[in-house]
Amino acid sequence: MPLGSYEINDDEALRNAYKFLKEACMDAVKIEGGGIKRAKTVKKIVDGGVAVLGHVGLTPQAISVIGGFRAQGRTAVKARSILDDALRLQDAGAFGVVLECVPAPVATAITETLEIPTIGIGAGPGTSGQVLVYHDLLGMLSHPHHKQFVPKFCKQYANVGENIMKG
């Protein structure tokens, strides 16, 4: 779900989830972040009948808050925090969790601990599945944060973002 569509309160999050499913013909929504607050939101949406995919580790909608595009969970304390967030999301009813830009051993440990699947984005081979964001692959984003950062795990084949902006 886009930034601002689920953070204000859980009732608005559920209303927006319904709207996205109806108007965009979706089957599920994805919510970034963990912790007790996001788990409460996920539970509200799931209890409302909407499937939710969680997302922990690097959360792109919060890059200004987390200090930019950098690996998350590189210390034992931070790795444990990401695991706890993933467990809360699972307990709230999420059907899976995206693990973005966390060290491979951390992603493997989280995947082995959870009962739901994990999807890795730059999280090593130990997740249940992998995705590669095509925006990174094609250099499609022109936001200053994105222009400064191309993930190490992603070979960039083009830089179409500047051409899109010119157009």
Q: Which residues contact 162 (CB under 8 A, 6 or more apart)?
A: 139, 142
Same structural domain for residues 108 and 157? Answer: no
Residue 37's pLDDT band (boundaries 50, 70, 90)?
confident
What is the per-residue pLDDT for 134?
72
Same structural domain for residues 17 and 96? Answer: yes
Report phi then psi at 30, rounded to 5. -120, 135
Residue 138's pLDDT band (boundaries 50, 70, 90)?
confident
For residue 98, give its domain range. Answer: 10-131
pTM confidence score: 0.81
Same structural domain for residues 68 and 31? Answer: yes
Task: Say if 3 falls within a structural domain.
Answer: no
Residue 23's pLDDT band (boundaries 50, 70, 90)?
very high
* Structural domains in the chain (count): 2
Q: Is 7 a catalytic residue?
A: no
Higher local confidence (pLDDT), 157 or 119: 119
Instruction: Please enumerate, as own/partner, the contacts of 128-134 that have beta carbons within 8 Å and a separation of 24 or more.
Output: 128/96, 131/98
Per-residue burial over 49-64, b = 16 or more CB atoms within 10 Å of its CB, e = otherwise: ebbbbbbbbbbbbebe
Q: Which one is catalytic: 23, 32, 100, 112?
A: 100
Q: What mean pLDDT is reported for the chain?
A: 85
CATH of the domain at 116: 3.20.20.60
Residue among 129, 131, 127, 128 at smallest CA distance from 106: 127
Same structural domain for residues 83 and 163? Answer: no
Q: What is the mean pLDDT of residues 74-97?
A: 95
pLDDT(153) > 70: no
